[in-house]
Amino acid sequence: MRASFVLAVGLAACGLPEGDYFGRTDRREPGTFRWCNSGEPDHLDPVLASSQASAPLLAPLFAARAPDGMDGLPVPSLATRWEISDDLRTFTFHLRTDARWSNGRPVTAYDVAYSAIRVLSPSTGSPNGDNIAPIRNAPGYLARKVYALGGDLVELVLDADAEPPDLAARTSSHELALRDLFDLHGAPYARVPAGTTVELIATTGLRATWPSPDGQAWAYVLWQRDVEGVYGWVPASALDGQPNGGLALRVQPVAGKDQPDGVARPPTVRAVHGRDLVATPDVLGIHALDAHTLVFECGDPTPYFLAAADNRALRTTPVEAVSRWPLTWTRPEHIVTSGPLHLASWRERDRLEMVRSPTYWDPAEVRSDRVVVLAMDDQAANANTYFAGDCDATSSNNIPSTYLPVMPRYKDYDVSPWLAVYFLWVQTEVVANRHLRRALSLAIDRTQIPRFTFGGEFPSAQLTPGTPIARLTPAQRAACGVAADAPGVALLMAEGLCYVPPPGLDYDLARAKAEVAQARAEGGVPAKLHYIFNAGGEAHKQIAEYLQAAWAAIGLDVEIEAHEWNAMLADTHAGRFEISRLGNIGNVADTESEFLALFHCGTLDNRGRYCSKEFERLMAEARPMRDRVARNAVLRRAEAVMIEDAPVIPLYVYTQKHLVKPYVRDFAINLVDQPPLWRVWIAP
């Protein structure tokens, strides 16, 4: 049993800590930063990681073009500079020449491109494809639907519910020896029996792949010999069989914006065979001009792509390690890293340790010699480990709710806004009456919720989260065009650029009753409504009971039900609900990509089944706009249309609650909750 669990009993028995600080402040180890994380990371592979416990650990280990700075906005790093085309579709990154992997090999534009191709390869099974979906033809490539046909790009025309064939399947009449492209004369690390099917991923010399080291074409293939599989390079000429080459298929040109030259082709459906189509990452808008210049091309103007360049989906991964151990290359005995820290040890469900990387290009930027990350998914264990002095800071929101009422008295407790919103989905096909949905929102006095959750949340009927306007500096308020006493929040997107979401359907009891009356007149009020929330969180239960009472005050009978988390996710995804608690956490300070994208007709994340022609029209109007201020104005109109229809009922902007020792320096608490751990240091 950890000492922290024993301490929990002690806290309860002896009362609250005395003094100005919650935890011990005398215990410190110069050169070592100890951090209590929110749990065990699901992966340390940026391409496969998806959990909140993983995200802060990827940035120290793997370089990005423009990672989060102290304020959570992009700063130069692996990319020393970049250019953005006037139409906001082409992003050119110039990479530094002194970046090295921990094995000494240079980090190049081909490495970055390789990581993006991994994310978009169907065989990888990455959960992060949506994060780089704006890249030209990315969705079609991921779905195995877009191919090269001569000088044009085409997409398969399939019958409803038909699965695309695997046109990347290849065989060889000879045994294939899998090799490392950077060591072609070394011994092969795997041998594929003759006639075995492999998947062709890429070949050398494409727009986004390494040039051939010896003049002949090499093919990068996947052999799924077991659950993990193995990748490797083989002579392209050895792949002399194509199992699905004889398939009869139909294709049509992709849209003009997704063609390499941007020119639309006649929308003619053609009959072809599988062998006519080339499965290649060349269909993607990824182009390594040379070893240190990388271009990403988006199908539509994508002003937020620069911020997305920090996303885990575009962090570098080492081809030589991934190829040999696709699922276990991040173990300490295999891992190759490119960031400021290197993984030294990893005891699962306990801790991992990162040390200063000897190959990082800017050693002065690394302020600690060692970062120890404790993996605990129990809030009491985190808080009490901190109390005992065994960690110097906690990750966000790892303090038990029972502690929260008294935490503001301590100087080492911090509450800050988070790019996350707590809201209720309303299934619009089931709760179809617009007036009823509006009444549900107008009946809620959101200011009362923080009084019983004690989390310092910022009550808001706005969907897009941000910083409370009262907290903005005068310069930030000027950029947002708001007065100091304006209500609500604003999202700071970049230097001098701000998005102020529409106010939403905030508490108005008289209007709520009028909306209910209108709904009843239209026959749109059922005898009973059902609200579901996930079990296991006391705050969710308290909020559900509060909502039930608020809706009863306008004459609505709402039954509340606690569901197991995964079951609730499955039900809401399938549309089997009326009203459900959920929320959304943004990765990038951009409402278009992170929040409004949830409400497009027919998208997988649109759990409320909302579909509005006017919302779609406005989002389409904004999409080609280059002026970001004008674009934001149209997006605001789109959000207002959606909010007035009430497929979602925002309640509050989440807060980040941290404990940080007074001797810890440069532990950045920013809106996207991504502290650069390598910049943290311990005051002597």
- Supply the DSSP string of 498-564, one letter for each residue: EE-----S---HHHHHHHHHHHHHTT---S-EEEEEETT-HHHHHHHHHHHHHHHTTT--EEEEEE-
Kindly report, residue by residue over 360-375, the tens digit of the pLDDT: 999 999 999 999 999 9
The average pLDDT across 337-363 equals 96
Which pLDDT does position 15 carry in this prediction? 62
- Quick one: what percent of the chain has pLDDT higher than 90? 79
Confidence band, pLDDT 50/70/90 cuts, at residue 586 = confident
Q: How many Å apart are CA 494 and CA 476, to the nearest integer?
A: 10
Domain locations along the chain? 3-38+340-412+660-682, 148-165+246-278, 168-243, 415-657
Kindly report, residue by residue over 199-257, the tens digit of the pLDDT: 999 999 999 999 999 999 999 999 999 999 999 999 999 999 999 999 999 999 999 99
Which pLDDT does position 604 carry in this prediction? 80
Closest CA to 205 of 191, 187, 217: 217
The average pLDDT across 575-588 equals 92
Which pLDDT does position 636 carry in this prediction? 97
Are the beta carbons of 420 and 674 closer than 8 angstroms?
no
Q: How many Å apart are CA 117 and CA 262, to the nearest integer?
A: 22
Kindly report, residue by residue over 372-408, the tens digit of the pLDDT: 999 987 888 999 999 999 999 999 988 988 899 999 9
Are the beta carbons of 529 and 578 closer than 8 angstroms?
yes
Rounded to an integer, what is the distance from CA 432 to the centroid of its chain?
A: 31
Confidence band, pLDDT 50/70/90 cuts, at residue 7 = very low
Which pLDDT does position 496 carry in this prediction? 83
The average confidence (pLDDT) of the chain is 92
* Residues forming beta bridges with residue 638, ordered by sequence position: none
Identify the architecture of domain 415-657 in CATH.
Roll (3.10)
Closest CA to 388 of 2, 96, 645, 7: 7
Q: CB 196: neighbour CB atoms within 10 A?
A: 15
* Sheet of 198-203, strands arranged across: 169-170, 198-203, 218-223, 230-235
Q: How many Å apart are CA 594 and CA 584, to the nearest integer?
A: 8
Kindly report, residue by residue over 264-301, the tens digit of the pLDDT: 999 999 999 999 999 999 999 999 999 999 999 999 88
Helix (H) or strand (E) holding 306: helix 305-308
Q: What is the DSSP letter of 302?
A: -
Kindly report, residue by residue over 617-668, the tens digit of the pLDDT: 999 999 888 888 999 999 999 999 999 999 999 999 999 999 999 999 999 9
The dihedral built from the CA positions of residue 211, 215, 217 and 220, taken in this order, carries a sign that is negative
Q: 336-351 burial, b for 16+ CB within 10 Å, e for fewer? A: bbbbbbbbeebeeeeb
CATH class of the 168-243 domain in this structure: mainly beta
* Residues forming beta bridges with residue 171, ordered by sequence position: 241
- Pull the structure tokens for residue 478: 């000027």
| Non-local CB neighbours of 591 within 8 Å, separated by 6+ positions | 463, 464, 491, 499, 501, 635, 639
Fold of 3-38+340-412+660-682: D-Maltodextrin-Binding Protein; domain 2 (3.40.190)
- Pull the structure tokens for residue 412: 């080492």
Kindly report, residue by residue over 21-62, the tens digit of the pLDDT: 998 998 778 899 999 998 888 899 999 998 888 888 999 999
Q: What is the DSSP letter of 164?
A: P
Are the beta carbons of 469 and 490 closer than 8 angstroms?
yes
The average pLDDT across 587-608 equals 90
The CA–CA distances, whole Å, from 76 to 286, 546, 672 equal 20, 47, 18
Q: How many Å apart are CA 46 and CA 609, to the nearest integer?
A: 31
Are the beta carbons of 45 and 330 closer than 8 angstroms?
yes
